[in-house]
Structure 1
């Protein structure tokens, strides 16, 4: 990866605006599932356990397919990946608007649209790391604020659409909103692989800087070999033209076919590099990365249960659908503050992003426990919703910087997808597990006790990552 003139300034801010827009759209799509689930229970199926699988499938699909989305982005680039995601979101939600069954909604709204969301989400985790170096954590914070803004807008917007256009019209309009991913994705122009680099500490005539890993060196050697074969073919063609007219055609044709076949073989090997694929997934040999992935699994279990059942919980306490949607707005306000604050804090070299996540997850778990025992009034529900998001949502900002610190920038695309995969397991299982708890107990309070326990365990798992890293540093000294 070479640093270009767009790093930290210039077109980097356009790319950041595009990624912010993608995150905003994804926030609307994902965090409105709880409101839509209430409408599905009223118009399609009344069983909360069955309907909860629809929203959890959307969450789970876009995160479980993270590794595949990472490979797609590495192969085809961020622009095509994001635009494909927008098309899939339009397709899935449009077909879902005509589905009268839970199974149909599960496949269209849950799976097809979920794949589109997953492609867009992986772009979010990679682009700020490519375009920003000095301001990278702050860039991730600004980018992730888009999801908080989507959470802030998504609940009331979805409730408004349901009131005026019912469930089927709302799904169709949500597909149109998701289609705007194509517009934002079109702004993500590729980062030039080799270009001149100029910083404040370097003279204008400074030569370019290129940072290559072992994998990129191997790729460069392969490309150089293909160029060498093509040049050799052209040289033989010129020599054959200047030689006698006795055997010019035979020699040139034979050599040209042999060289072109070798060139085609080289290009086929660069289409999918199996050794590079295997080496990329060797990140699982890194114990800190495994522990961090486990912590994100636990965090997503609690997060999915908390957000998905919040509208149901509020209506179960006697609140109107509009009041229940306003709880998501309160969460959106806390989420935007948390994501920006986490990005600014992680930019400080004296603050370890891993330790910051330990504190945020632990505090979010504590708030969840308090919510289960002290949220009888509507004002207390607004209060706890705001402060829960203030602590929990900042973790989204820290994912990218922590992965880069653990593994380095060359592996961030696939590693971010792997972390999303672990989050997907939690998002897929969280709502059904807590729905089962509610059906057996008749109390939503157990949902938030379960969420708090998962968040606290996730904080402990993140802390173990830090301990292992410190032990490794001590051994190296």
Structure 2
């Protein structure tokens, strides 16, 4: 649990810093909010939309190697980004390459608690997901401090070093204890011989005997024939038997592979699962626009850069509380996790609408940021338990990756859509109206999951 908490903390620090670093990119590289917003949205969108590939990788190589590979890619992407002077270079390095590293790490977090915990699984998810809230709490002041002393490129280099700590956390992961089938043994404790089924032509009785016994059976019934004919007949029978056994083994392997393939893709026939994916995409669409433009919006309303950064810190404090509380609440058998998510996303949408009205004092913005983080970020702790309830533990790795892919679509499109709305209208409030509408639609889609 400590390992997954640490990986989530690193992810939270990296994601939270995108909004603050975006301001530095506009000051040092290019002053175009529409272009620079694609860097942060590519990072967030890649690390979530990579979910299906990350799920397959984790099934093949295990959680430990997957997390360590994510740390190496984070170090490589951010280190190369510290030397880039163009938007395209930053997009490919700190956006795409580092996003792939985060994507490998986030899939480990979504799968490991479900494999280790059974009785209090949602509570375990909540504690693990609280690491991202802690990262949000620390990430904004940390990125402000680094930008003040080391500027943009030094900050990117240090962020790569922070992401490299996923290798240390991944090395501490232990493989889950899985139940494996035991080989078939006889009464003496020895492995049984491979037998073949022989069917006689007279009464169609089925007799089970070893291959050596079948050869003797053939020889006894052919004693009256010449030796050369016996030898030719036995050779023919043995060749046909070997060919038949080989064909049966090939057919069994093909049937077994087809059954495994059908089981793996059973999730594509679950309409409730696809409705839940839609709700997650709408939620991430509003969430990404909300977080990414919060520092710019606060400075637009007359707040200082330090005050604008502290709004994300307040949201991180609410996020830590919400993630743990949502996980504990979902552990109660009397509380439905789907109904809980409906309420959380609906209240988050209402707070997003209220963010555009009322006084814009520092205290009021701080309170609204805290309550938004409290209601919206609790959904992160419910994704894993809801997927397990819908599909079961065997499908959780691939299913979590698919959900992350839809989440990545929202994270990829949210900031650019909000930037286009602001650039076309000149009104920042439209960003939070758009985010609130997405969150309310997400609440409705989650409710439809029960109907499906």
TM-score bucket (shorter structure): 0.7 to 0.9
**Deviations 1:194-234 (CA, angstroms, capped at 9, x unpaired):** 38xxxxxxxxxxxxxx8xxxxxx9xx99xxxxxx99999xx
Report deviation, 1:443.
Answer: 1.3
Deviation at 1:390, TM superposition (A): 0.4
Partner of residue 326 from structure 2, selected from 342, 347, 354: 342
Report the CA distance between 1:92 and its aligned residue. 0.2
Mapping of 1:193-204 within 5 angstroms?
A: 193-194=178-179
Alpha-carbon distance in 1 for matches of 2:148, 2:15: 19
Among candidates 95, 103, 123, match of residue 110 of structure 1 = 95
- Give TM-score scaled by structure 1 length: 0.79
Higher alpha-carbon Rg: 2
131, 146, 165: which one pairs with 1:180? 165
Displacement of 1:280 after TM fit? 2.0
Distance 1:69 1:229, change over 3 A: farther
> Counterpart in 1 of 2:340?
356
CA distance change for structure 1 residues 278 and 33 in 2, over 3 Å: closer, same or farther?
farther
Q: Aligned residue for 2:281?
A: 297
Task: Give the match for residue 417 of structure 1.
Answer: 401
Displacement of 1:338 in angstroms is 0.4
Residues 1:70 and 2:42 are matched in the alignment: no
Long gaps (5+) in structure 2: 185-190, 196-210, 212-241
Measured after TM superposition, the shift of residue 315 of structure 1 is 1.1
Question: TM-score, length-normalised on structure 2?
Answer: 0.83
Q: 1:28 to 1:376 in 2, by over 3 A?
A: same
5 Å-filtered alignment, 1:112-131, equals 112-131=97-116
Query: Which of 63, 66, 69 is the matching residue for 1:84?
Result: 69
Give the Cα separation in 1 of the matches to 2:194 and 2:16: 55
1:332 corresponds to which of 313, 316, 319: 316
Deviation, structure 1 residue 317:
1.3
| Cα distance in 2, alignment partners of residues 229 and 110 from structure 1 | 57
Q: 2:425 & 2:157 partners in 1: Cα distance?
A: 36
Q: What pairs up with 1:122-201 in 2 under 5 angstroms?
A: 122-194=107-179
Instruction: Tell me how far 1:275 sits from its aligned partner.
Output: 6.2
Offset at 1:375?
Answer: 4.9
Q: CA deviation at 1:191?
A: 1.4
Matched position secondary structure for 2:433: helix
Question: Aligned Cα RMSD in Å?
Answer: 2.4
* Distance verdict in 2 for CA 1:230–1:174, change over 3 Å: farther
Post-superposition Cα deviations, 1:93-138, rounded to whole Å, max 9, x if no partner, equal 0000000000000000000000000000000000000110001010
Find the residue that maps to 2:39 and give its secondary structure: helix
Aligned residue for 1:405?
Answer: 389
* CA distance in 2: counterparts of 1:377 and 1:277, whole angstroms: 57
Give the count of matched residue pairs.
393
In 2, the alpha carbon distance for the partners of 1:335 and 1:32 equals 16
In structure 1, the gaps of 5 or more residues are 1-15, 196-209, 211-216, 222-227, 237-257, 469-477
Q: 1: CA distance between counterparts of 2:261 and 2:31? A: 45
Indicate which of 456, 464, 470 corresponds to 2:440: 456
Relative to structure 2, which stretch is displaced further, 366-375 or 136-145? 366-375
Taking the aligned partners of 1:146 and 1:397, their CA distance within structure 2 comes to 11
